[in-house]
């Protein structure tokens, strides 16, 4: 499930316990998100209702909590917060490979991991083998850990790949 920016904001607020049920029934709840216009206020109300209807958030005593589905979506949205890796101009001749074999039961997490690799600038060498010329072991470990797929992900280094010329050209390396 793809979340909008506002849905992510609400999930993070609920996940950190910022919203109490008493606040939900107060008309000023939306001030937590600082809507600027009447239309934006309406959109937040609609978004909160949709999260309830989709059983992503629920009422528990005096708190709004995340369901299992909500917790999963929160983890996926936290992965989106990892924006980039440190791409230096100087390449040291080492290729950094990420490979994975994530079971089908974690398909959503696997797809999220693949999208994040693409977003970070990785190049797909084979179906589940990706390469980049810059060190990013920590970022990959954080992403895999947040998604709960760390046991299925391997990070490798090599100084030669069969398609090296093509990769050097792709990444605009010296």
pLDDT, tens digit, 9 for 90 and up, residues 36-52? 788 888 887 888 888 88
CB-CB contact of 120 with 85 (8 Å): yes
- Mean pLDDT value across residues 81-85: 69
Architecture of domain 5-80: Orthogonal Bundle (1.10)
Token pair 């989709």 in the structure block, residue:
54
- Strand pairing class (123-126; 153-158): unpaired
Report yes or no: 123 and 136 within 8 Å, Cβ to Cβ. Answer: no
Q: Are 116 and 143 in contact (CB under 8 A)?
A: yes
pLDDT confidence of residue 94: 95
In this structure, the number of other CB atoms found within 10 A of the CB of residue 68 comes to 9
- Protein fold of 95-170: Alpha-Beta Plaits (3.30.70)
pLDDT in tens, 105-135: 999 889 989 999 999 999 999 999 999 999 9
pLDDT digits (tens, 9 = 90+) for 151-162: 999 999 999 999
Q: What is the pLDDT of residue 21?
A: 47
Contacts of 13 (CB under 8 A, 6+ apart): 19, 32, 33
Q: How far is CA 134 from CA 12, 30, 66, in A?
A: 31, 42, 37
Q: Could you tell me the pTM of the whole model?
A: 0.68
141 or 75, which is more confident? Answer: 141
pLDDT at 152: 97
Answer yes or no: is pLDDT of 87 > 60.
yes
User: Domain map of the chain by residue range?
Assistant: 5-80, 95-170
Q: Are strands 153-158 and 95-100 parallel, antiparallel or unpaired?
A: antiparallel
- Whether 125 and 133 have beta carbons less than 8 Å apart is answered as no
State which of 7-11, 88-92, 97-101, 168-172 shows the largest mean pLDDT.
97-101
Q: Residue 66: what pLDDT?
A: 86
Structure tokens at 122: 């990785």
| pLDDT score, position 9 | 78
How much of the chain is in helix, strand and coil states, percent to nearest 5?
Answer: 50, 15, 30
Q: DSSP secondary structure string, 37-69?
A: SHHHHHHHHHHHHHHHHTTSEEEETTEEEE-HH
Residue closest to 33 by CA, chosen among 13, 3, 57: 13
């Amino acid at each position: 499930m793809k979340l909008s920016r506002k849905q992510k904001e609400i999930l993070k607020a609920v996940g950190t316990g910022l919203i109490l049920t008493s606040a939900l029934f107060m008309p000023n709840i939306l001030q937590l998100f600082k809507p600027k216009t009447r239309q934006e206020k309406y959109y937040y109300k609609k978004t909160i209702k949709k999260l309830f209807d989709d059983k992503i958030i629920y009422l528990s005593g005096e708190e709004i909590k995340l369901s299992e589905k909500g917790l999963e979506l929160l983890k996926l949205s936290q992965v989106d917060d990892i924006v980039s890796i440190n791409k230096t101009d100087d390449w040291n001749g080492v290729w950094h490979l990420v490979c994975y074999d994530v079971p089908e039961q974690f398909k959503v997490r696997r797809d999220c991991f693949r999208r994040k690799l693409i977003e970070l600038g990785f190049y797909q060498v084979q179906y589940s083998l990706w390469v980049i010329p810059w060190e990013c072991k920590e970022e990959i470990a954080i992403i895999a850990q947040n998604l709960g797929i760390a046991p299925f992900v391997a990070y490798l280094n090599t100084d030669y790949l069969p398609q090296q010329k093509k990769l050097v050209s792709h990444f605009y390396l010296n």
